[in-house]
Amino acid sequence: MLFKAVEALAILVAGLMVGNELTVAVFLHPTLRKLPEGQHASARRAFALLFGRAMPFWYAAVLVLTAWAAWIGPPLRSVNGKLLVAAAILWLLAIVYTLIFPAPLNSKIGHWQLDRLPPEWRAQGVRWDRYHAVRMVVIVAALVCLVAGSVVYE
């Protein structure tokens, strides 16, 4: 019973997070790029600050829930167990990747002085979007493993 509750919560929290990250990649940032320079930079900075505060906790929660589900769930020798472990490993990789690539850049973006934007501010945004696209591949794969681990039965 505990396993199913943890598994369901992990899927819910992970699914919402992947949906949020997908929205940033597909809708938010492409729309911001169409705004006039000052509005674009201001909105990008505001979102960088907001997500910079919220996402570390969200990513950590997904990793903890997924690892917990893998720990108390089916044996590792089962397909379900392997999928849950793979999901936990992918979440961990996404966090490590984030700490190395997008997070430091996000911090720079969040500290832009809007009256004195760095000359390469647009390039920083494009680079962050590329880093985010790589992360999206990893977290979508992690979510697929998590969901598959809960529905595949041997």
Helix, strand, or coil (residue 117)? coil
CB 130, CB 101: distance < 8 Å = no
What is the number of alpha carbons within 13 Å of residue 64 lying toward its C-beta? 6
- When pLDDT is cut at 50, 70 and 90, the band that residue 29 belongs to is very high
Alpha carbon distance 43, 57 (integer Å): 22
Specify the pLDDT at position 152: 84
Centre a 10 Å sphere on the Cβ of residue 12 and count the other Cβ atoms it contains.
Answer: 12
pLDDT tens per residue across span 63-109? 999 999 999 999 999 999 999 999 999 999 999 999 999 999 999 99
- Which value, in Å, is the radius of gyration of the alpha carbons in the chain? 18
pTM: 0.96
Q: What angle do CA 6, 9, 11 make, to 5 degrees?
A: 110
